[in-house]
């Protein structure tokens, strides 16, 4: 739990998901004191939001794939390009 917001921003999706799974395991065990449970829950929510943001970004990138007249992918368009 010693990771701050800056560490979270630099985490890959896979690392954040593993950390979230670890938080869930600890919370589900029932062996964590209340104050630590609250801190774990808050950390888990931040990890969940980070994972969701990464998934949304990946989905947006996938949707930006440009298809040619034959339906085959012809390249990609930057996310900030106008459609």
> What CATH number is associated with residue 46?
1.10.287
On whether residue 51 sits in a domain, the answer given is yes
Counting DSSP H helices and E strands in the chain, the numbers are: 3, 2
pLDDT confidence band for 83 (50 / 70 / 90):
very low
| Contact between residue 20 and residue 51 where contact means Cβ atoms under 8 Å apart | yes
As to burial, measured by CB atoms within 10 angstroms (0-12 exposed, 13-18 middle, 19+ buried), residue 27 is middle
> How do residues 9-29 score in pLDDT, each as one tens digit?
889 999 999 999 999 999 999
What pTM does this model have?
A: 0.70
Number of domains in the chain: 1
In a domain, 21, yes or no: yes
83, part of any domain = no
Tell me, yes or no, whether 54 lies in a domain.
yes
- What is the per-residue pLDDT across 32-61, written as a single tens digit (0 to 9) for each? 999 999 999 999 999 999 999 999 998 888
In a domain, 70, yes or no: yes
Domain-embedded: residue 81: no
């Amino acid at each position: 739990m010693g990771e701050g917001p800056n560490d979270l921003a630099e985490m890959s999706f896979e690392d954040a998901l593993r950390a979230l799974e670890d938080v869930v395991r600890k919370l589900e065990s029932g062996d964590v004191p209340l104050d630590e449970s609250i801190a774990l829950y808050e950390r888990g929510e931040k990890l969940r939001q980070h994972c969701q943001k990464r998934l949304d970004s990946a989905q947006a990138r996938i949707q930006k794939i440009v298809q040619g007249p034959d339906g085959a992918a012809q390249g990609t368009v930057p996310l900030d390009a106008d459609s």
